[in-house]
Amino acid sequence: MRTPTRCRALVAILAVASVLFLSPAPAVADIGGYTVTGTGGQGLKVRADPYDATTQPVSVLADGTPFSAVCAVRGRDVFGNNVWHRISVPVQGWIADFYTTTPGFNQYLPGEPECYHRTTARDWAYAHYLDDERFPGNDCTWFVSQALWAGQVPRTSAWTDQPAPTVPAVRADALKNTVVQAGYATIREVGWTDVTAGGAQVGDLIAYDWAGAPDGVIDHLAIVTSLDAQGAPSVTQHSLARKDRYWSWDPGENKPISASHPGSRVYLIHVTR
């Protein structure tokens, strides 16, 4: 694995640019005012996944139950309607738009944002991990930024590539701060012995503080691209290019990161958008 300081800093001009883009995008409020309908008394199954019909229901909502929508995706087709809403009330999960009182058939609610497409972000990472690095030796954050954008996490004025990459698009700690402050993600430290990395999901980020003594500054980022049968994540990354590296393993040293970088700390950045 490349020297751990490589993904922390870039050229000074990017640091100057950070002064110009300090305002994160506000979190989008949940959308209410709609209820479950048309289930014939069977109730609407709340799913853990809008694409997979085999997943066990999280809950069942009776006709007339109000809900709050967070965002939507186009998932599994239900009688010609493939819109699914991620809801936060009365439970968290996914419901098919077909069985709701929303105003448009096969349409998102007015003002409803696109949800994070975790598998799309993963697929982008798989397709591009062998691409040339735009910032050689320092490309980890630029790589995960592009994967998140591919998964429909919205750019902000602070975190963008338009007209050129801003500091949070290319510096690990700045990206961490930006997505958390924008309400796109949460962050918490996890232990190296927690094989699930705090319950990481495909599309989440694993953040590493491994340069010198731990200081809380993130030095490297990688995106979770697979989980094994025990829920242990593997990650895909740049600097160095790796596909499905076990999240806590250093293949360059052929040992755990906790051994190759004594005192290092690790965090789960869970995308909630």
Structural domains in the chain, CATH included, are 4-27+117-271 (3.90.1720), 31-99 (2.30.30)
Q: Which amino acid makes up residue 218?
A: I
Burial class of residue 111 (count of CB atoms within 10 Å of its CB; 0-12, 13-18, 19+):
exposed
pLDDT value of residue 213: 87
d(CA 167, CA 10): 8
pLDDT value of residue 12: 39
pLDDT value of residue 272: 83
Strand partners, 250: 255
Strand order in the sheet with 205-209: 185-190, 265-271, 205-209, 220-227, 233-237, 242-246
pLDDT in tens, the chain (273 residues): 444 445 654 433 344 343 333 333 344 579 999 999 999 999 999 998 888 888 789 999 999 999 999 999 988 999 999 999 999 999 989 999 999 999 999 999 999 988 999 999 999 999 999 999 999 999 999 999 999 999 999 999 999 999 999 999 999 999 999 999 998 999 999 999 999 999 999 999 999 999 988 899 999 999 999 999 999 999 999 999 999 999 999 999 999 999 999 999 999 999 987
d(CA 186, CA 53): 28
pLDDT value of residue 55: 79
pLDDT value of residue 51: 83
pTM score of the predicted model: 0.76
Strands (E), 131-184: none
